[in-house]
């Protein structure tokens, strides 16, 4: 049988999950490269179309204002919330946790190292747009540990319900896949089409991949650590778990590959002192007014201008501009009077609210560091789903730990329906299963259900596949003088890079239009 | 064709006059408008109903229902569960501001999203008249809310919820039980859509309040 390259990739996929294919494809240079963003350098504004109104001071709105301002436009940003930044939210001591129906104040200690990134928290090296702005706005970044081989996979139904170090699972998984592949080549069933030399080289790769013995067998590896002190004795690897036990665990089969995703590939970065340093950077650079606590009531498009009315200090204010860039979550648009075209409004209505939930705990001691964990993420099949260890302030007295990071509608609703206090109790109980004694370290906590947060009511908007085909490209285009922007108008909702891409797209169409 | 153009012009005119007459939202009503729309016209994306034409007595009853956990606690009542914590926070003073805002706000009529058999719906609506009134205007003494002017998608959702027990199962309110019982008389979704399509014809041009 002839082993084509495609066939080889399929085989790997069957044996080890699609992430292996991904890596192999990368090695073979199949994947496209990401475009590098240089400054947008919009053409200078002309006098006829100089005034711009931007709705929503999220990342897309701020970047749009920044670029237009540089080109000489007069911008006004109108923001419904008490703060700029949208879902780029970092909570610290004394901040308002603005959940609809459950407002509270964040009780973290007053310390610059004690903060929680409630929305975006990590930046991969290929998100060139957001990194470009970090550089331009002089936002200091540092490395952020996303994956950590010493963090845990916790499967409550397997391995005796005990957490297993991710590195052990990785070593065993690769070992068994390699052993299988090595055997297949030896028996000559899959090697047709490869020369003797090819096979020898490929076997070297396989052996290195799984750390196999010379025999081609996997008998455990030092990569997963040692049962004796490795400095004073020869390392003695743990015996591998049985293959049947391993593959019985859905977490083993899925979650050890989380950091294989392109957006979570190491190394990641994060702004020193909190993600909202990017918001601060934009706010410091902008000269345009950013009007806070101003909820938009109507958007009316005439022939030569757009009239937006908003409420500020108990009064309706009408604001006219030549063009409008709209960063408001699309699911609010049917509640805001507007005269956008019917097609466009239908398309906006097809964007549905996504859900995402986080909990932040202030821990009085950094107990995870005693377990050799410095940054990174543990995964569990319990409702909290993920636990994040802070990458900042190693050996500090205290730390803010992410006590839950939850996707999926049902899982989110489970937490949303609880009072904020109940949510923390459940998350503490979940944490106990991974780190016995966990709850006693908790001093205070906050919960952020994004689909309940005031003026947001959602995170990572969704569209059905059919609607996407029908409507999405429409929303990437303006409706008259109105441009929709935000991560919602990208193929990457929930990422600042998606928000910036939407702004870049809108601005490039805009400058072609006004240039005429 | 000319008729369509004429109607479009009329809609544009109505819409434009509404843009001119935006009324400032009192600060304690702003949280309501996040979901229910800035002019309380409802928002299908958030599954939040139109409040603009609802009478004070009905809103007050519903808020009390939420507070007593008679509404918003069924596992399948997702939007009700979203309303519950906000209802819990509403003070009588804030509620009074909501009523005052409703009295002055005049959002455009809701868009029709259901297109059932209106004639058939008219016949089926006969069974609703006794409580909700011939013009869907509602009858306070029977605690039956007005239906005319409400978003059609919301009426459908509530009929489905009454029939399946999502709405009413936890309620001690006898008028709610009357509606639970009445909903059983509707044999299927077609009946519901036809009735609601008829109710939508009862919306008048300027709103019912």
pLDDT in tens, A401-439: 999 999 999 999 999 999 999 999 999 999 999 999 999
Phi, psi angles (nearest 5°) of residue B126:
-50, -35
Q: Distance between CA atoms of A123 and A271, rounded to whole angstroms? A: 9
Strand-pairing partners, residue A483, are: A325
CA proximity to B90, closest of A106, A100, A95, A295 = A100
Looking at the complex, report in whole angstroms how far the Cα of residue A350 sits from the nearest Cα belonging to chain B.
8
B45 and B99 assigned to the same domain: yes
CA proximity to A79, closest of A334, A310, A283 = A310
Tell me the pairing of strands A290-291 and A74-78: parallel
Contact B30 A335 (CB under 8 A): no
**Chain B: residue whose CA lies nearest to A462:** B45
Q: Answer yes or no: is B111 within a domain.
A: no
Q: Distance between CA atoms of A135 and A341, rounded to whole angstroms? A: 39
Q: Answer yes or no: is B10 within a domain.
A: no
Looking at the complex, report in whole angstroms how far the Cα of residue A340 sits from the nearest Cα belonging to chain B.
11
Q: Find the CB nearest B46 among A297, A316, A335.
A: A335
Q: Is A280 within 8 Å of A150 (Cβ atoms)?
A: no
pLDDT in tens, B36-63: 999 999 999 999 999 998 999 999 999 9
**Fold (topology level) of A47-81+292-352+463-515:** FAD/NAD(P)-binding domain (3.50.50)
ipTM score for this prediction:
0.85
State the average pLDDT for chain B: 88
pLDDT in tens, A376-391: 999 999 999 999 999 9
Q: Is A455 within 8 Å of B34 (Cβ atoms)?
A: yes
Per-residue pLDDT, A13: 43
Q: Report the SS3 class of residue A190.
A: coil
Per-residue pLDDT, B2: 46
Per-residue pLDDT, A79: 98
How many CB atoms are located within 10 Å of the residue A156 CB? 16
User: In the listed set B104, B137, B169, which residue is the last one of a domain according to the structure?
Assistant: B104
Tokens of A10: 């399929």
Mean pLDDT (whole number) for B6-18:
45
pLDDT in tens, A277-288: 999 999 999 999
Q: Distance between CA atoms of B67 and B60, rounded to whole angstroms? A: 10
B96 and B123 assigned to the same domain: no
Looking at the complex, report in whole angstroms how far the Cα of residue B176 sits from the nearest Cα belonging to chain A.
23
State the average pLDDT for chain A: 91
CATH no., domain A94-150+266-275+355-452: 3.90.660.10
Contact A100 B35 (CB under 8 A): yes
Phi, psi angles (nearest 5°) of residue B150:
-75, 155
Tell me the pairing of strands A90-91 and A116-117: antiparallel
Most B CBs within 10 Å, among A335, A342, A454, to test the B interface: A335
pLDDT in tens, B147-176: 999 999 999 999 999 999 999 988 888 889
Indicate where chain A has its CATH 1.20.1440.240 domain(s): 168-248
Q: Could you please report the per-residue DSSP string of A284-312?
A: HH--S-EE-S-EEEEEEE-SS-EEEEEEE
Phi, psi angles (nearest 5°) of residue A277:
-65, -25
Most A CBs within 10 Å, among B38, B87, B89, to test the A interface: B38
Examine the pLDDT at A242 and tell me if it is beyond 70: yes
pLDDT in tens, A442-465: 999 999 999 999 999 999 899 999
Q: Which H helix or E strand runs over A246?
A: helix A243-247
Q: Answer yes or no: is B174 within a domain.
A: yes
User: In the listed set B38, B71, B104, which residue is the last one of a domain according to the structure?
Assistant: B104
- How big is chain B, counted in residues? 209
B31 and B96 assigned to the same domain: yes
Per-residue pLDDT, B172: 86
Domain span at residue B93 reads: 22-104
- The structural domain count of chain B equals 2
Buried b (16+ CB within 10 A) or exposed e, A287-307: ebebbebbbbbbbbbeeebbb
Q: Answer yes or no: is B71 within a domain.
A: yes
Contact A101 B25 (CB under 8 A): no
Q: Distance between CA atoms of A358 and B76, rounded to whole angstroms? A: 23
Does residue B113 sit at the A interface (CB-CB below 8 Å)?
no
pLDDT in tens, A351-410: 999 999 999 999 999 999 999 999 999 999 999 999 999 999 999 999 999 999 999 999
B59 and B35 assigned to the same domain: yes
B123 and B62 assigned to the same domain: no
How far is CA B147 from its chain centroid? 6
DSSP strand E in A322-418: where?
Answer: 323-326, 337-338, 357-363, 376-380, 386-389, 399-406
User: In the CATH scheme, what architecture does the domain A168-248 have?
Assistant: Up-down Bundle (1.20)
Per-residue pLDDT, A1: 37
Confidence of residue B206 (pLDDT cuts 50, 70, 90): very low
Contact B41 A335 (CB under 8 A): yes
Q: Could you please report the per-residue DSSP string of A64-92?
A: HHHHHHHTT-EEEEE-SSSSSBTT--EE-
Per-residue pLDDT, A34: 58
Whichever domain contains B40, its CATH number is: 1.10.760.10
How far is CA B192 from each of CA A48, B153, B178, B185, rounded to the nearest angstrom? 53, 11, 17, 10
């Amino acid at each position: 049988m002839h082993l084509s390259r495609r066939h080889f990739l399929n085989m790997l996929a069957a044996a080890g999950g699609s992430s292996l294919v991904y890596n192999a494809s990368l090695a073979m240079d199949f994947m496209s490269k990401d475009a590098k963003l240089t400054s947008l350098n919009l053409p200078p504004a002309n006098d006829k179309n100089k005034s711009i109104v931007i709705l929503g001071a999220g990342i897309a709105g701020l970047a749009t204002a920044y670029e237009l301002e540089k080109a000489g436009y007069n911008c006004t940003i109108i923001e419904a919330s008490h703060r700029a930044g949208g879902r780029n939210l970092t909570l610290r001591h004394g901040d308002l946790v603005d959940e609809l129906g459950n407002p509270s104040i964040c009780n973290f200690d007053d310390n610059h190292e004690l903060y929680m990134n409630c929305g975006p928290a990590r930046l991969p090296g290929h998100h060139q747009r957001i990194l470009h702005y970090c550089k331009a706005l002089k936002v200091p970044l540092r490395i952020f540990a996303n994956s950590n081989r010493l963090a845990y996979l916790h499967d409550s139904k397997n391995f005796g319900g005990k957490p297993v170090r991710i590195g052990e699972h990785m070593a065993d998984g690769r070992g068994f896949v390699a052993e299988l592949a090595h055997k297949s080549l030896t028996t000559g069933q899959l090697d047709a089409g490869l020369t003797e030399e090819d096979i020898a080289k490929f076997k070297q790769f396989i052996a290195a991949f799984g750390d196999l013995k010379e025999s081609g067998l996997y008998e455990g590896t030092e990569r997963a650590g040692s049962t004796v002190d490795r400095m004073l004795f020869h390392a003695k690897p743990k015996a591998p778990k049985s293959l049947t036990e391993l593959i019985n665990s859905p977490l083993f089969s899925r979650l050890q590959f989380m950091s294989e995703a392109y957006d979570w590939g190491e190394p990641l970065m994060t702004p020193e002192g909190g993600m909202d340093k990017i918001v601060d950077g934009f706010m410091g650079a902008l000269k345009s007014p950013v009007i806070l606590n101003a909820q938009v009531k109507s958007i009316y498009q005439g022939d030569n201008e757009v009239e937006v009315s908003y409420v500020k200090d108990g009064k309706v204010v009408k604001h006219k501009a030549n063009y409008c860039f709209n960063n408001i979550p699309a699911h609010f648009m049917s509640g805001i009077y507007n005269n956008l075209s019917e097609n466009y409004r239908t398309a906006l209505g097809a964007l549905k609210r996504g859900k995402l939930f986080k909990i932040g705990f202030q821990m009085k001691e950094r107990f995870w560091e005693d377990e050799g964990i410095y940054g990174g993420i543990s995964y569990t099949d319990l409702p909290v789903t993920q636990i994040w260890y802070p990458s900042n302030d190693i050996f500090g007295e205290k730390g803010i730990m992410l006590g839950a990071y939850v996707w999926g509608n049902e899982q989110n609703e489970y937490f949303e329906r609880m009072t904020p206090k109940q949510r923390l109790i459940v998350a503490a109980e979940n944490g106990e299963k991974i780190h016995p004694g966990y709850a006693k370290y908790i001093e205070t906590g906050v919960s952020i259900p994004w689909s309940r947060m005031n003026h947001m009511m959602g995170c990572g908007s969704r569209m059905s596949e059919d609607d996407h085909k029908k409507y999405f490209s429409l929303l990437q285009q303006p409706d008259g003088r109105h441009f929709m922007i935000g991560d919602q108008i990208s193929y990457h909702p929930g990422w600042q890079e998606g928000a910036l891409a939407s702004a870049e797209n809108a601005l490039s169409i805009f400058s072609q239009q006004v240039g005429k | 064709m000319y008729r369509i153009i004429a109607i479009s012009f009329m809609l544009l005119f109505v819409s434009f006059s509404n843009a001119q007459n935006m009324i400032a939202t009192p600060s304690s009503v702003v949280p309501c408008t996040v979901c229910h729309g800035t002019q309380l016209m409802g928002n299908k994306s958030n599954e939040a109903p139109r409040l603009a034409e609802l009478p004070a007595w009905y809103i007050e009853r519903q808020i009390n229902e939420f507070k007593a956990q008679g509404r918003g606690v069924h596992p399948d009542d997702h939007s009700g569960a979203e309303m519950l914590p906000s209802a819990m926070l509403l003070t009588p003073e804030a509620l009074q501001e909501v009523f005052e805002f409703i009295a002055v706000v005049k959002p455009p009529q809701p868009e029709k999203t259901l297109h059932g058999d209106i004639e058939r719906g008219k016949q089926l609506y006969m069974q609703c008249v006794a409580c909700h009134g011939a013009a869907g205007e509602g009858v306070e003494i029977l605690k039956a809310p007005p239906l005319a002017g409400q978003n059609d998608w919301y009426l459908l959702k509530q009929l489905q919820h009454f029939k399946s027990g999502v709405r009413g199962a936890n309620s001690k309110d006898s008028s709610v039980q009357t509606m639970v019982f009445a909903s059983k008389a509707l044999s299927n979704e077609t009946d519901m859509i036809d009735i609601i399509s008829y109710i939508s014809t009862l919306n008048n041009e300027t709103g019912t309040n």
